[in-house]
Structure 1
């Protein structure tokens, strides 16, 4: 009989993951920004309402958590072949507390989702209808997250050997164990989203900022700019300083029309969001009327706040990576 006992002694440590991510920091962060922008893009363009999408993701995650509690694992295809999915009883107060919404907002969004046939409600019982899967089925997110995991293995040393796994490897593993593995991802994602909302005030502000940041990450990658530092904090400071200064000096920011096209947010709303971000000193407007993220010299208070946020988010990113590597390659 095959021995299925997990090899606990070979579990990948957080120190190993930190070392791998620090050595390949620029690529890992680019893949992370791609993941997050793709997630926000799908969230906004599903309902033109990110809060509503997050409610749906939260409800799906409650279902995945219940499956895990009862050791019930479904593949990606099997889960999304269901005509509907029942959720354990949930109260408005749970929703309010767990995803930082007001009671009035949570109640209104649930009523809208009910009227649209996305969910049905019977007192505290909620059923997600199959039509919701059109919006929530995370095909692109699984691909983007698998890209991130693969990037983390480019410099991952196990037993003093580099252990590289490609995107297809992780994508296949996640889809085969979807209800178990994606619960871990959504737990991490919801934690991140709550912190993002506190920092930016609303998710649309965060999305506009993120597309500017992602544009700069591509610019720096294409210019082969190098970064260095002896620990994660200093590596990240070097990264954010280089990424902002390079784009500022080379005038490769984005204009409101391009931001609108990339995000799906109407141009008039984009301009309002950019003004919000300028007031927060997270975004600056350069001499060519293009928008870039703040720098240590221009918008220094915002730059410092953003840098501290991204550094403080590294443990969440890396612990999630560590969990998935241990799920899939140990």
Structure 2
């Protein structure tokens, strides 16, 4: 019994703070170093830790819900509910079997594989994210994330299980197709260890400031680079309740999808943004997810309401951040 409990705790720690998490200690250390440089260069009056981790944010009721959802989601992950690797591996095996004869071509360089995984995974993220904004039936599940009124790195995990499950299925399908083709096309295949390992692109993404995406710290990349990569400031714009920021910057790592599909919004220096749910005019709406129970149950109720409207022939799309009940 003791060994089982210890194993479960180790698995929970790996899910929450292992190398696959943005809260991995190495990523947090990188975040602190970048924040220190920003603090010094901008000559902020407040002390470093008071500026980086203000008590008003870290003790805010919205952040307390973030923590509860973080723990809940990691418990679900430990039991294997969101295993993208498992979905991808199963499909990859089926696809690889469609290639009966392997050509003599050597496998591609690991960095090429990492780039392909990043591109395909990010493309999947863009469309999963976008359809959750634009389909009224799905929006209530993503509204849990957008109802955060303050943001910290833990806000990245303020998600409803249905959103995570949808993302797992879409990611697993696209990555499985890619991995199956790589295994089937090249001589000797492409090692499973390489395909399932930490992606170099996401490693750099997390080392270079991904944790600022969900924070009050402005970090832009400049007009040129923000056409290629989503900066933390651009993702903060995505969370803004201002009408001009609605339905913008769906990408996670790459900005090219937003650029191609017309949803890109570049950041400006030190914008003052309000986070949370807003109506079409940009007015804040009451917090619907003020507890763990509300964050888990209300989206199910609101999605059913939207399904009933859909069956009555009403609009299928939302295309703006609204309250889940609207």
- Using the size of structure 1 for normalisation, the TM-score is 0.23
* Bigger strand share: 1
Q: Higher helix fraction: Structure 1 or Structure 2?
A: 1
Give the TM-score of the pair, scaled to structure 2: 0.23
